[in-house]
Amino acid sequence: MARNTPVVVGGIAIGALILIWSPIPFLLALLIILGLPVVGYLMLDPSQRRRLKDRRRRQIGP
């Protein structure tokens, strides 16, 4: 299991709970769930964004 897998699974579980049992409207809950990663990405420095993009380009295999 990858190092970030438990974090991703926990985020999905919390997001599902917010969508199902939350008294806040559906669209607001969806905005919160989708907005957090965007805000996190925008908080990165340009060099950190570049490293993240480089990591995405790498593929498994030869």
Q: Which residue has the higher pLDDT, 47 or 33?
A: 47
pTM score over 0.85: no
56 neighbors 41 (Cβ within 8 angstroms): no
Burial of 50 (0-12, 13-18, 19+ CB in 10 A): exposed
Is 5 domain-assigned? yes
> 15-34: per-residue pLDDT in tens?
778 777 767 677 777 777 77
Residue 23 domain flag: yes
* Cα–Cα distance for residue pair 18/34, rounded to 1 Å: 12
For position 20, what pLDDT does the model report? Answer: 79
Classify residue 48: in a domain, yes or no: no
Number of domains in the chain: 1
Quick check: is 37 in a domain? no
User: Which domain covers residue 10, as residue numbers?
Assistant: 1-32
Tell me the average pLDDT across 37-45.
83
